[in-house]
């Protein structure tokens, strides 16, 4: 591969207020897959003018989406009809995850899972694997072939879970260490310490997760927090000395600026303050929260408390791999809480904002020079109704708004990872 140009309507979201848009724009991609230059075509430096160009015309060229909370072993179990979180986990989820002790199953699933991410325009993710090392090996080995910036970890879970997915505190610690050794820092891959949630971990296991984090400062730690009332009650019973659910994780040294807490719907002010002061991130998963009836996350209250909030699909509790559909649901949940997010805010969350939550914002998430060329091409007129709706759009903001509210995987025309095209829509 040599250096080349991508042409089109170039759009990225450098902060939550800004839509940076070049109607006729260009990105110069190096042979190594990094962004050398981006801006309006008329300002393209002369030395790049003769490069081969992939011209996407009027299509929108944006940074790849980033999904900061998704479960690989739930890749096909969307729409499992649970009554609530704990019923859904015990009746459907654990049995499906148990399949991932078989490395052939895990390998096949990893190809499908990563292909689905790319077909939805998602170029990076933070992923919960199953409790089996086989699932992590399978996922990382395929992600490595695709050059993806992927963060993933073996789920640690030693209590309140059935045979087939339950580990032990010591085994989860040893497995995590072996996986860190094998994968962390290889190409664009990073390991994440992944205790599932306080319900399925003993104090000993959470202590060992804290030890892993201490031994690997800056490594992502991902878990779930305060998603559902029955879950919160169980945690209070299991950890009677803790002030609240957040304090359980706090007491094992699990809060901090590389810690991602999925959901965080029913937090007290005291918990929010503690999350904010430690720099911990909340990852909002709106399609999962509405599907499982978990509650309406208050985006404004969390942001006002000073917490950095990411936005994720939470497949398979979530109902769509599409970050567009996820943004639309996030918008609706915010509206139900009486708050109207801006368009820049939602797109920023799904791209650079999520990258910043994962501490990879210096490498991906926007078109700044030196970042990886993780790029998607979108068609805001992919369906009949979108074509008619776009007739009413008078500016880029409205084009982006209707794309967010009506778009999904059909909107994705191409996905580039580190400068290589890894997905192309069959019909464009
Ligand atoms: N809490 C613990 N495990 C899970 C999971 O797999 N999905 C969701 N949505 N919440 C969880
Ligand atoms: Zn989850």
What burial class does residue 165 get, using C-beta atoms within 10 Å of its C-beta: 0-12 exposed, 13-18 middle, 19+ buried?
Answer: buried
Each residue's pLDDT expressed in tens, for the chain with a length of 428 residues: 899 999 999 999 999 999 999 999 999 999 999 999 999 999 999 999 999 999 999 999 999 999 999 999 999 999 999 999 999 999 999 999 999 999 999 999 999 999 999 999 999 999 999 999 999 999 999 999 999 999 999 999 999 999 999 999 999 999 999 999 999 999 999 999 999 999 999 999 999 999 999 999 999 999 999 999 999 999 999 999 999 999 999 999 999 999 999 999 999 999 999 999 999 999 999 999 999 999 999 999 999 999 999 999 999 999 999 999 999 999 999 999 999 999 999 999 999 999 999 999 999 999 999 999 999 999 999 999 999 999 999 999 999 999 999 999 999 999 999 999 999 998 65
What burial class does residue 80 get, using C-beta atoms within 10 Å of its C-beta: 0-12 exposed, 13-18 middle, 19+ buried?
Answer: middle
pLDDT score of 1: 80
Which strand (E) or helix (H) includes residue 136? helix 133-145
Mark 6-36 as b/e (b = at least 16 C-beta within 10 Å). Answer: bbbbbbbbbebeebbbbeebbbbbbeebbbb
Query: Within 6 Å (CB) of ligand 1, which residues are found?
Result: 71, 85, 89, 93, 196-197, 224, 227, 288, 314, 317
Which ligand places an atom closest to the C-alpha of 289? 1
The two three-digit tokens of residue 215, written as one number: 């031994």
Distance between CA atoms of 199 and 158, rounded to whole angstroms?
10
Which ligand places an atom closest to the C-alpha of 93? 1
Distance between CA atoms of 279 and 307, rounded to whole angstroms?
7
pLDDT score of 75: 98
Strand partners, 106: none
Domains of the chain, each with CATH number or no CATH: 4-63+373-422 (2.30.40.10), 65-321 (3.20.20.140)
Phi-psi region of 391 (alpha: psi -120 to 50; beta: other; left: phi over 0): alpha
Distance between CA atoms of 118 and 121, rounded to whole angstroms?
5
Q: Please, what sign has the CA dihedral across residues 381, 397, 338, 320?
A: positive
* Number of residues that make up the chain: 428
DSSP letters spanning 371-408? SB--EEEE-TT-SHHHHHHHTT--SHHHHHHHHHHH-S
Query: Of the candidates 260, 353, 350, which has an alpha carbon nearest to the alpha carbon of residue 313?
Result: 350
Q: Which of 88, 197, 222, 312 should be mutated for ligand 1, with most atoms under 8 A from CB?
A: 197
The two three-digit tokens of residue 348, written as one number: 């920023």
Q: What is the dihedral of CA 98, 102, 106, 109, to 10 degrees?
A: -80
Q: Determine the distance separating the centroid of ligand 1 and the alpha carbon of 72, expressed in angstroms.
A: 12
């Amino acid at each position: 591969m040599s250096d080349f140009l991508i042409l089109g309507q170039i759009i990225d979201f450098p902060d939550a207020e800004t839509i940076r848009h070049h109607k006729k724009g260009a990105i110069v991609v190096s042979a190594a897959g990094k962004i050398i230059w981006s801006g309006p075509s008329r300002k393209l430096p002369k030395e790049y003018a003769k490069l081969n160009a992939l011209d996407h015309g009027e299509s929108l060229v944006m940074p790849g989406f980033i999904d900061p909370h998704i479960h690989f072993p739930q890749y096909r179990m969307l729409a499992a009809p649970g009554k609530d979180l704990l019923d859904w986990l015990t009746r459907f989820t654990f049995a499906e995850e148990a399949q991932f002790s078989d490395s052939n199953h895990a390998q096949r699933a990893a190809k499908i899972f990563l292909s689905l991410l790319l077909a939805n325009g998602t170029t990076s993710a933070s992923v919960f694997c199953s409790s089996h090392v086989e699932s992590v090996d399978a996922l990382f080995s395929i992600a490595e072939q695709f050059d993806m910036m992927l963060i993933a970890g073996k789920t640690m879970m030693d209590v309140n879970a059935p045979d087939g997915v339950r580990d032990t505190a010591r085994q989860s610690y040893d497995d995590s260490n072996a996986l860190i050794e094998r994968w962390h820092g290889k190409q664009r891959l990073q390991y994440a310490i992944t205790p599932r949630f306080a319900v399925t971990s003993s104090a000993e296991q959470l202590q060992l997760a804290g030890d892993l984090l201490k031994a690997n400062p800056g490594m992502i730690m991902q878990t779930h927090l305060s998603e559902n009332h029955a879950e919160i009650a169980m945690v209070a019973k299991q950890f009677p000395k803790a002030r609240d659910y957040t304090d359980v994780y706090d007491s094992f040294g699990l809060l901090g600026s590389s810690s991602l807490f999925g959901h965080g719907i029913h937090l007290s002010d005291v918990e929010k303050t503690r999350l904010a002061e430690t720099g911990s991130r909340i990852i909002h998963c709106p399609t999962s929260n509405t599907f499982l009836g978990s509650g309406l996350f208050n985006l404004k209250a969390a942001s006002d408390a000073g917490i950095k909030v990411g936005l994720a699909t939470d497949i398979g509790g979530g109902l769509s791999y599409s970050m567009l559909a996820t943004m639309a649901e996030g918008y609706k949940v915010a509206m139900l809480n009486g708050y109207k997010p801006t368009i820049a805010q939602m797109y920023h969350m799904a791209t650079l904002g999520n990258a910043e939550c994962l501490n990879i914002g210096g490498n991906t998430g926007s078109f700044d020079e030196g970042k990886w060329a993780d790029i998607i091409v979108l068609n805001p007129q992919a369906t009949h109704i979108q074509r008619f709706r776009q007739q009413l759009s008078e500016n880029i903001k409205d084009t982006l708004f209707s794309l967010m509210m009506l778009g999904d995987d059909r909107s994705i025309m191409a996905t580039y990872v580190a400068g290589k095209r890894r997905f192309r829509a069959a019909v464009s």
